[in-house]
Structure 1
Amino acid sequence: MDFHAVLYNIAEEIDSRDLAGLKFLCLDHIPLKKQEFIKDAVGLFKILEEKGLLEEDNLSFLKELLYHNNRMDLLNLLNTNQSEVECQIRTKAQISSYRVLLFDLSENVAKFELKSIKFMLSRKIPKCKLEDNMTLIDIFIEMEKRGILGEGNLDDLKAVCDVIDKNLLKKIKDYESNRVERSTERVPVEIQDVEEMMNDLQATSGDFPGEKDQDKAYKMSSKPRGYCLIINNFDFQRARKEKPEHQNIRDRKGTDVDAEALKNTFKKLHFEVVHFQDRTAEQIHNDLQNFQDRNHDGKDCFVCCLLSHGDRGTIYGIDGQEVAIKDLTSYFSSSKCPSLAGKPKVFFIQACQGKTIQSGITLDTDSEQQRESLEMDAFLQSECIPDEADFLLGMATVENHISYRHPKEGTWYIQSLCKNLKEKCPRGVAILDILTDVNSEVSQKIDLSNKGKQMPQPKYTLRKKLFFPVN
């Protein structure tokens, strides 16, 4: 049977409850904002195809989805069965065990227990957010938005389950035990190959610090290395509605592409990624306060990526209210966050530093291809980091100037940053050297509509070399 005919037949058997489960299992691959436009299984399959997760000769991801959603009957339409998919998952799972755990918990909670869970969480989540028709999956998503639930942050959920149902608590503890066991297992061959390459490079390039030079580089060996917080502001409808001076502010098309690239990059660099979407100014402050209050004792670093509109010295919440960048970075000074004292705090900020278009010299080029029109993230003063050691601030552009964002391909800066991190971190290149390469790459781009250019700018108070090894 035709590939798309098979998908259509499967979609016909998936009701709204099944669809909600499938979308939740896909959250690590399809951002929440993009999921809002998925109204049926056909829409979900279309996006999976666009992302390369669903192909005629590769149905493994779909099989895994149906298996975890307990639709074993639909596996027959894909010429497979439960035992074959279980073997596939043991070999190479594509859906995280964390996401599977939460889905499994949602399937094992009765209606009366759900009411009790909402009541217990009312101190953590405003009652207006805990609507009567919310499912447990909806609650999990709200908890993740607020930073009180994550792959390595299950304490609040355990506290609730300890009271509601000990069986649910046991599932979480089993997951945590298995997670520890997995982290100590022998690494796969492909990772070993990368490690061997890194060792060879260390012996020849001199970039990675040797035993005698360990004090010249920040320690970066914990797993996870630390948290990577991504705050991604796309929808500025509220700002347009509430603040007359922001009537012309646009939604930030293309920012989800950046958020996904950052998420994938820092996961590969062994960071625990937390992704918040569309945050007001107050929520941004609360998010940073939340991570300031966390215990970072077992971690070596903290990374924060801020994607938004802004002005000099500030970024905007989706309500149009300004947030001073220095206020956000200062949450992690040694006095306010002692568990990060002496450890690198890294901020990557995609926003303009003003409204001036940076001009460039016209150069000969081999291509006069016209791009889709670019957009601007219309920001940041020079003093944006605390006056103390161990901070790195990577900014999309120099002071007083705009930065560019492609509606489909993302921003020049973030896309170049992620590409260079992926290529050069395994080779032992220090982060400041990588940012220099990003500067060079972005500075060579040009907006053909107005001959505008862009020059990123790192600012730092680092005391040692900073590497993000992949081993």
Structure 2
Amino acid sequence: MFRSQRQLVTATLPEKIMNAFFPPNQRPVFRHSMSTKDQLSTTASVRIAVKDTGSPASALLLTKKTMALPDQFQLQAIQQTAEALDGRERSRLFYLCGVTDVDNTAGCVEDVLKSRVIRHQGEDQFLPELLLQLGRFDILKEVYKTSRDEVEKALTHRRVLPSFKVLMANINEDMAKEDLNSVKFLLGQTLSREKMENAQSFLDVIIELEKLDIVSPGRVDLVEECLRNIGRVDLAKKVTAYKMSAVPSEGHSSPQQRHRAPCPSPTPNCSPCLQQTLRAHPIHIATENLTAPVYSEQSQMEFYKCNTNPRGVCVIIDCVGNDGDSLKQTFTALHFNVVLHKWLSAADALSVLGEVFRRRENLAGDCFVCCIISRGTGNHLLGTDSYGAGLHLDDVRRLFNADACPVLAGKPKLFLIQRYDILEIPPRAGTQHRDEDLETDGCFGLSRCDLVPTDADVFWSHCWTGEQQLVRGDHRSVYLQVLRDALHKGQRRKTHLVDVHTEVNAAIFEHNRRNPGATYHIELKHTLRKELYLQ
């Protein structure tokens, strides 16, 4: 390569990379001193003097830099790596390298890795760390002649990949399809429908949020909130740990090193993949320009005491006859004392609720649950009645508020209601319930409240769908089915009840999308002051 022991070198860098890194008026001149035996090395130190022909100054400052060019081994290893990765792994690699909007091909992977090797000059662990994150230990062994343990040991004190991107990539790997659908549902008002439909992975969603500057290395609250709301508390805790840790400067670089250099304009000679990479990510030593955010320590939210045996009473009134038994099994498994009543009229339902209210032994637990399955109109439940105003939903709630039932004050009260809408029917005389019909526990002057529960410690989940669903004899409420599944899953995962219900929301949304003629409407209102775990 060199004709003499000391010679001016102008073609050390490949022309493609030369054109990509340096504008035409700032072509570098490399002066190189090396012995004959060193001439076989393509990773030697070079001394760079940059002349700016467009400047009146004859020369800029002469500096010493070490430009680690990919040697033959690295080039071969990069090629083998690119060819061995599948489409999903390539997508994850692009994200970890900070590259978006490129073709998901082995050729683009090769170009990106070459540019990153040059960027991370002197960082021999870059490629092994990347493969470690991808879980391709076979490539580490066969191509790089190292092992997972050796790489992890080498990375104990220093890492190259940004911890934020590593975190997001790891969450992506741990997220099931149903979790992704739940996240997309929660972000329905944040991202456009087109972007939601195109998002095939959690990383696709994160990339879109990053473009909107809603999510970034120092701004992950939205991610944490979404994960909690879909019931993935395990993943949310990883985000919390990332936030609360002393956020490292990526790769432990100095503030001066983290400053981005101006990005030169790639020339047409550069491959399209490399052009996109260099435009979006100017050459600098560190991979991210992070300022460590300061998070004040906040005490974790308190949770309700819910460990008595039984946990409390669960009253189920099934006026349809299809889902009551399944609900009983679910709440029995959740350690509640379950009382199931079937085929009650509105008046009988009120009487049953009053009986529960008067039996104080039923209210000795830490929690109270009321489930009602009934036909109804608007805010009224008819039970088995064909006529009449029925039982107002607000009356159900008021029976158990802190004023009417001081024994339940400060305890969580859950109302789970499935209503099947029928046409409005004129009320029949003598069927309406008055306030004076509602007995109280020594409380005077019960005031009317809105349907939306405003008293403390109330969890109100109300779902309604058309009565025509009951035509099928084997009908089962989709809402109650997914609610039962979510409660069982929440019990295993130790998930907060509000997060459990978010999973129900996502399932209902998906059902409605697939079955536009049999939609369910769901409303959740709660005034819980603490987290509630049904274990």
> Where on the TM-score scale, by shorter chain, does this alignment land: which range?
0.3 to 0.5
TM-score, normalised by the number of residues in structure 1? 0.38
Higher relative contact order at CA 8 Å, sep ≥6: structure 1 or structure 2?
1
Q: Structure 2 length as normaliser, TM-score?
A: 0.34
